[in-house]
Amino acid sequence: MHYLESTYIENDEGQRYSLKELYDVSVSNPKVRRAELMTRIKGFEIVAQQMGHIGEFYTITTPSRMHARLKKGRANPKYDGTTPDQAHKHLTTMFERIRAKLNRQGLTIYGIRVVEPNHDGTPHWHLLIFMEPAIRNYVRSIFSDYALCVDGNEPGAKKHRFTAVAIDSKKGSAAGYVAKYVAKNIDGEDLEKDLYGNDAKQSAKGIDTWASTYNIRQFQFIGSPSVTVWRELRRLANSKQSQDIDPIKSPALYQAMLAADTADWDAYVMVMGGVGVKAKDRPIQSLYSQDESIDINTCLLYT
């Protein structure tokens, strides 16, 4: 922390900041990261309400042979040596096939996926997703079928491999339902204990280390416009260049910038074309530069 406080950088506009100041306002800071995640989740919930969509909470687990330990901590005699990253790859491949099936059937879902470890480090997934009410049973059926494709006949598979809970808005918000899963996987804020009775903040540090060790992406949004564009628009809104954005000539850019600056994710989603839209079809996209270099010995141009 002393290094961050004593190291400074300066931008092209002559503004000078310590690395600690930049850390405090970036998503590297757990509080900022959690706030951004909850803003996006709540924004999706508002979009769903406006479109008459429903919320679902799914949990997906791996086959029993991928678990090193049984529920009470004893060694699993069926364990086949699968590592946490390999188990995560199994779930990722399965989900890719689920999404491909949904796309082939023209079924749109959107929301967030959260990955967290079991007591033995084997990952399982939670998904908060929104969809049209008419497709709920079909979506559940697709998830269940793919979750049981591997070792689907083993004892307990049909009960534990895939579970689905309908979000009842009368009992609470979808964002509130998933908030504890976000918190316990980032910093344990507002939680006293984890599922095993341990200090939530210490457990969150362990989960963060687990995710870093196995290169597991803990949070992924589904059917969402780019958060990179969102962050750049927030920076743009607080820069001198924002004055050059003409609301008449560039209405989408102007409206998206305002939505991002006010942390209005639902408005941003709609300006960006809605949910389930391919990145190439969004009205605003990230611009990536490509460096060019010249080999002075051959005078050939490389890109």
Question: Helices (DSSP H) in the chain: which residue ranges?
Answer: 2-6, 19-25, 30-51, 84-104, 136-147, 157-160, 174-184, 200-213, 227-237, 251-261, 265-271
CB atoms within 10 A of CB 52: 8
Per the CB < 8 A criterion, the answer to whether 165 and 150 are in contact is no
- Residue 128 vs residues 124, 179, 266: alpha-carbon distances, Å: 14, 11, 16
4 residue type, one letter: L
Asked if residues 98 and 141 have their Cβ atoms less than 8 Å apart, the reply is no
**How far is the C-alpha of 163 from the C-alpha of 301, rounded, in Å?**
55
Using alpha carbons, select from 202, 270, 208, 69 the residue that is nearest to residue 258.
270
Catalytic residue among 181, 254, 288, 302: 181
Instruction: Report the distance separating Cα 220 and Cα 126, nearest Å.
Output: 11
DSSP string of 87-100?
HHHHHHHHHHHHHH
CA–CA distance, 104 with 101 (Å, rounded to integer): 5
CA distance 125 to 59: 6
Long-range contacts of 200-206 (CB under 8 A, 24+ apart): none
Active-site choice (58, 110, 146, 177):
177
CA distance 67 to 35: 33
| 177 labelled catalytic | yes
Catalytic (active site) residue 181: yes
**3-class DSSP state of 123:** strand
Q: Which active-site residues does the annotation give?
A: 177, 181
